[in-house]
Amino acid sequence: MKQTILKRVGLTKLIALFLLVSVAFSCDSEDDIPNLGNLEVQVTLASGLNDISLADIDVTITQTVDNSTLTMNTDANGLATFSDISIGTYTVVVAYATEDYTLSGTANNVTVTRQETVATSVEVNAVNQDGGLVIKEVYSAGSSFSSLGRDAFVEIFNNSSETLYADGMYIANLFGGSGATGSTSVYTVLTDTDYVYTDVMSQIPGNGTDYSVAPGKSIVIALNAVNYKEGSVTPDKELNNTDATLEHYSIDWLEAQGRAGNTFFELDNPAVPNMTNTYMFEGTNFFRLSTPGSIVLVSSDAAFDDSGIVDYTAPGSSSTFKVMKISVENVIDGVDVLDNSGSADYKRMPSTIDGGYTYLTADGAVSYTGLSSRRKVDEVATARFGRTILLDTNNSTVDFEAIAFPDKYGYNN
């Protein structure tokens, strides 16, 4: 009996040793397999487009962790294959310009897994090169602790070949989380994507011909038309906004409604005309842009009243915000500026307005950095037409870039 038990114990040890060696060999084999995968991107045309070749179109993928990029061209069938790339989550951007149009499209949060081939598709739209008024720059990060974001501005550029008028158009700051920790996607609560939602909005005054914008020129709408260089110990890092076309000032407007204004955040420069206040939610007492700020330019044909105000209550919150809805049909242009490189789920506007999104830093640390979101020059169209034309693919991932300091009026011919 004793001998049998010993034999069993010896056999058990032998089996255990065999399993241990097998596991070790298996682990070694697993370690030998690289953390790589493949990604196939199929480019397709949006409904209604035809007779457009999908061959030799640039497809760029950006990993959302380290922002590393790779670019491939499509084959004759519109397929681009990225082989042996690092596993992770990618943003896929298609951008291709001809003399007559630009093709553009984006796919967000595409996950490449280990030793597998992942397939995704990107639908592209064709955008005419000779457009109208576009948002050229959005600056809301603030240049220093002394200005505290009061130096923010939005710049509107004329991308067309004829003089246009901005009279009556609206500038709206879009409501919603930007992708920072604790954010909630606005469209998980307000699910109707036929609208965007604003907490503060104002209108350009005028009678139709007061605020002309010549081709290749721009107008600047500042929060405060103030020279923040004066009295600053670092004037080179501050803005002088006294050259703004218009400024926001809402104290008188708020007081007329029985609400209190904020003389710290709003300063009236008598030499610069004021925007016409349209909407400001009850939880604030001054006009401001979000940091970062997603902005839309809205047609002068739009009309707003109290019937367009809706309630927003984030899940688990007891606070309710009243925001104004804006039909996407009335949006002339928009740029979705979000917190960081992984914020695709927090878009504040549908892809019909902005097919992608832009950001200032990969980790979202932007407050008081002086960073600004600026639209890029369309080199192909500029060379063809002999005047500055900015990229306008309806995709801010393609069209915009982060710059170290604002470039107010920087492209004006």
Tell me the pLDDT band of 130, cut-offs 50, 70 and 90.
low
Tell me the pLDDT band of 57, cut-offs 50, 70 and 90.
very high
At which of 78, 108, 128 does a domain end?
128
Does residue 265 sit in the same domain as residue 366?
Answer: yes
Give the mean model confidence (pLDDT) for residues 239-259.
95
Of the two residues 26 and 412, the one the predictor is more confident about is: 412
Strand 36-45 relative to strand 79-86, pairing: antiparallel
- Report the amino acid identity of residue 62: T
Report yes or no on 28 lying in a domain.
Answer: no
pLDDT at position 4 is 46
Does residue 248 sit in the same domain as residue 299?
Answer: yes
Range of the domain at 109: 36-128
Q: What is the pLDDT of residues 185-204, one digit of tens each?
A: 999 999 999 999 999 999 99
Question: Does 30 have pLDDT greater than 80?
Answer: no
- pTM: predicted TM-score of the whole model, two decimal places: 0.78
Contacts of 16 (CB under 8 A, 6+ apart): none
Mean pLDDT rounded to a whole number for the chain? 89
CATH number for the domain that contains residue 103 = 2.60.40.10
Of the two residues 3 and 380, the one the predictor is more confident about is: 380
Q: How many CB atoms lie within 10 A of CB 229?
A: 16
Report yes or no on 87 lying in a domain.
Answer: yes
Which tokens in the block code for residue 341? Answer: 């490189």
3 state DSSP class of 288: coil
Does residue 106 sit in the same domain as residue 143?
Answer: no
State how far Cα 8 lies from the chain centre: 68
Does residue 343 sit in the same domain as residue 197?
Answer: yes
Which of 140-144, 189-193, 202-206, 399-403 is predicted with the least confidence, judged by mean pLDDT? Answer: 140-144
Report yes or no on 17 lying in a domain.
Answer: no
Does residue 262 sit in the same domain as residue 228?
Answer: yes
Does residue 67 sit in the same domain as residue 216?
Answer: no
Give the mean model confidence (pLDDT) for residues 350-361.
94
Which tokens in the block code for residue 294? Answer: 């997603």
Give the mean model confidence (pLDDT) for residues 384-408.
91
Q: How many CB atoms lie within 10 A of CB 80?
A: 24
Tell me the pLDDT band of 9, cut-offs 50, 70 and 90.
very low
pLDDT at position 5 is 42
What's the CA gap between 170 and 280, in Å, rounded? Answer: 13
- Report the amino acid identity of residue 33: I
Does residue 344 sit in the same domain as residue 365?
Answer: yes
